[in-house]
Structure 1
Amino acid sequence: MTKRRAPKPIRDAVLGACVALAAAASPSLAEGVERGVVERGPVRIEVLAQGSGPAVVLLPSLARGAEDFDQLAALIAAAGFRVIRPEPRGIGGSAGPVEGLTLYDLAADAALAIEADAGGRVAPVIVAGHAFGNWVARALSAIRPELVRGVVLLAASIGTEIDPGIRASINGSFDPALPEAERLRHLQRGYFAPGNDARVWLTGWHPAVARMQRAATAATPDRSWQRVADRVPVLYVAAVEDTIAPLPTLARLQQELGPRVTLAEVARAGHALLPEQPEATAAALIRFARELPQ
């Protein structure tokens, strides 16, 4: 990525190269990852954490879990950050009621993980949400502003209507009744840029979690939480070949999210983004995090 001054899109080749070097030199992705469970009433949230330094919280996409961030988390931790990954309800060791939820309930699950990792202190974090996770990140910044000092939206929809054919591919991607070859075609069409290997996402889907998350989104009664950049600095990381959340202009982002938003474009990536371009994605997030006031 080639650097431009904010608020224009950020394309930082130097930082990207540094992150790539860190990836080559880093140990196993699983090394140094702490796993624990935090509880509040009937809710249990499994949390993966690694590294030390200012905290970055990673929230996964629809029907998917924390493992999607394995590469990204290792790169961010190697750059000097504490990375916290709460699993959504219904994945891993996370459990709790799945009926009658709103996005605010899912945001409260993330808050539970943040507070537990901070040991009861109020220590504001950067929260990054991938695709569906962006809704939870924005909701968290609205209901618990004292916990959030910056938000990163990764391949996030910002009000654009999704083409019905692409929506069919989203649903087909994790439909266990479909043959693998058909699911692969849906994954390639909906999530991956041409030439990138969609097979890496054949596994890792949780259809029951998708139903819960979609119901929670539909049940969230207002949309005031969406303009997150009215409250905190926001980085929008756009996948240039995203068919679900097409590349927006900075003006469109400011209209939808608020004035405190910058844009980073990641080439050769679709909506999946994380398995396609982990180094470039990490580079954009790390740069944003380092430029925020402590």
Structure 2
Amino acid sequence: MTSTRQNDLFDYSPITDRQPIRWPDGARVAVYVGLNIEHFLIDRPSTSIWPGTADLVPDALNYGWRDYGPRVGIWRTIESLDRHGIQASVLLNSAVADHYPQIISAGLERNWAWLAHGRTNSILQAGMTREEERRYLADVVGTIAAATGRQPRGWMGPGLTETFNTPSLLAELGLDYVLDWTNDDQPYRLNVPGMISVPYTVELNDLLLFGNGTTGPEFVQIVKDQYEQLHTDAEHSGRVMALALHPFVIGQPFRHKYLDQALAYLVAQPDVWLTTSDEIAGHFQRMSRE
């Protein structure tokens, strides 16, 4: 079947043809840590380390691997973030508020930025009608706002999924940016009033990197290489670097010191703006209005 639907969510905009972006204090690269804090269902196939048991119920092997994140991995990851003074941008499944309230409390103590990330990463929203999705998004956003005391501004879908209605429905709920479209090194406007896209990454992402055999030292070098190239690119216009982390991956003991090394490198860079996705979105929106 040949598709005839055109992409009307955003326009083509080559990065060489845009107005320059200036980050605060002359920084060249805005860096944020996208910390995925998720809840998985025990009776649904989900992200797996070994597909051989993924369709079993219960799937002790893969569920246990994922469940290491909220039980152990998140606390080890928090240690590193605290040590380097980094405020996380948390991609939060709303079900976390019910199942892991201690994590919400830890984030409130650290003033994390809270982004809506669906209800659970075991269920995607593809196929929902507009009304079904409106109710779903309202529940997700409302649950997170009640748990954190703050209305989320940003959205990333479970598995980076959207429907054609998602951005406009999010705008109705008061959100103003999405991370799902990993196609740029700068924020850009969507063709939905008030909505922008902020860069995220499926490449500089522990789940994909380590899942494809990347070693700890290679991970550190990849972080350095990413920053160095973006720093070069940003000579005349700022860039965004997202570092995507999952506690059940990066929180494994044998990877911990490599996260520490990567964060130490980023903190030491003189031209970096270590910030949150909320701050990046807000700065871009303000700059665009000037």
Return the index of the structure with the highest Cα Rg.
2
> TM-score normalized by structure 1?
0.33
Q: Which has the higher contact order (CA 8 A, sep 6+)?
A: 2
> TM-score normalized by structure 2?
0.34
